[in-house]
Homo-oligomer: A and B are copies of this chain.
Amino acid sequence: MATPRVTVWHEYRHEKTHKEVSDVYPEGMHTPIAKYLREQGLDVKTATLDEPEHGLTEAVLAETDVLTWWGHMAHGDVKDEIVTRVQQRVLDGMGLIVLHSGHHSKIFKKLMGTTGNLKWREANEKERIWIVDPGHPIAEGLNEYIELPHEEMYGERFDVPAPDELVMVSWFEGGEIFRSGCCWTRGRGRIFYFRPGHETFPTYFNPEILKVIYNGVRWAAPHAIKPTPVVNVKVPLETIRS
């Protein structure tokens, strides 16, 4: 497989309006993710909400093998036509990594068919992400768990289709659990949802978290991007005698 071409998409609004966010991510949350993936040898671009077409033109998508998505306060500002474009590209084979509050993004809900609802709490509590499928490619090189001293809590019930593969489950200090690392295939495209990444914590500087994102990109990278044919097969493959 050729080197995956990654587009790290970021809403990039919190950093411009919330000092507590820009203090943690002075160059935006997308920057440490893009930097890490580049260091692993991937071919990485970034794109943000306020660029024309949200930075997700047909041309950009045509050269993207895997798209990562972080959004939160401005899900509603993402144009429906761009969402449809991204969905079609995923169905044709592009990988998609949905991060944290992306659970409520239009693209995630559209691909899942569910609300993406969950419980949450901002209490700076401890999260321990347990690997429940250690043979999965996304678990490559990880220990039995990843510990984050301070994160926002997400709790079940997480309203998503049962994952095709469940790789990680989080324990939260305040008493909840959450299916934190979930894989689905839709069309030819592979989708990985990865829970951590609240905007006021330096989660995307954590090397283990970055490794999971990298593993997710590798897992989601397509073998080929092509549409599923819709064909009226007028000439049957075999003779029909009935």
A134 within 8 A of B: yes
A150 close to B (CB within 8 Å): yes
Does A40 sit at the interface, judged by CB under 8 A? Answer: no
B residues near A111, Cβ cutoff 8 Å: 113
| Contact in complex: B135, A189 (CB < 8 Å) | yes
Residue interface bits A119-152, CB-to-B below 8 A is 1, else 0: 1110111101011111111011100100001100
A114 to B87, CA, bound (A): 9
- Give every chain B residue within 8 A of A119 (Cβ-Cβ): 229-233
Select from chain B the residue with minimum beta-carbon distance to A225: B135
A112 to chain B: closest CB distance in Å? 6
Q: For residue A130, which residues in chain B have a CB less than 8 angstroms away from its CB?
A: 155-157, 176-177
Interface residues on A, range: 35 or more
User: Hey, which chain B residues are within 8 Å of A93, CB to CB?
Assistant: 135
B128 touches A179 (CB 8 A): no
A43 adjacent to chain B (CB < 8 Å): no
Given contacts A135-B223, A223-B135, contact A238 B113 (CB under 8 A): no
CB distance from A232 to the nearest CB of B (A): 6
> Does A28 belong to the interface (CB within 8 Å)?
no
- In the assembled complex, A222 has its CB within 8 A of some CB on chain B: yes
CA distance A159 to B144 in the complex (A): 13
B175, A117: Cβ atoms under 8 Å?
Answer: no
Q: Mark A173-187, 1 if CB is under 8 A from B, else 0.
A: 111110100001111
Task: Tell yes or no: A158 within 8 A of B by CB.
Answer: yes
Quick check: which of A54-62, A160-168, A203-211 contacts chain B, the rest being far away?
A: A160-168
* Also in contact, A112 and B115, with CB within 8 A (given A133-B185, A166-B162): no
Across the interface, name the chain B residue whose C-beta is closest to A118. B230
Q: Are B242 and A140 in contact (CB under 8 A)?
A: no
Contact of A224 among B140, B157, B236, B238 (CB under 8 A): B140
Q: Find residues 186-205 in chain A having any chain B CB closer than 8 Å to their own CB.
A: 186-190
A-B contact pairs, 25 of them (CB 8 A): A91-B115, A91-B159, A115-B230, A117-B228, A118-B230, A119-B231, A120-B233, A124-B240, A124-B242, A126-B240, A128-B175, A130-B176, A134-B188, A141-B224, A150-B242, A157-B228, A157-B229, A161-B184, A162-B165, A169-B169, A169-B177, A171-B172, A173-B240, A175-B237, A176-B233
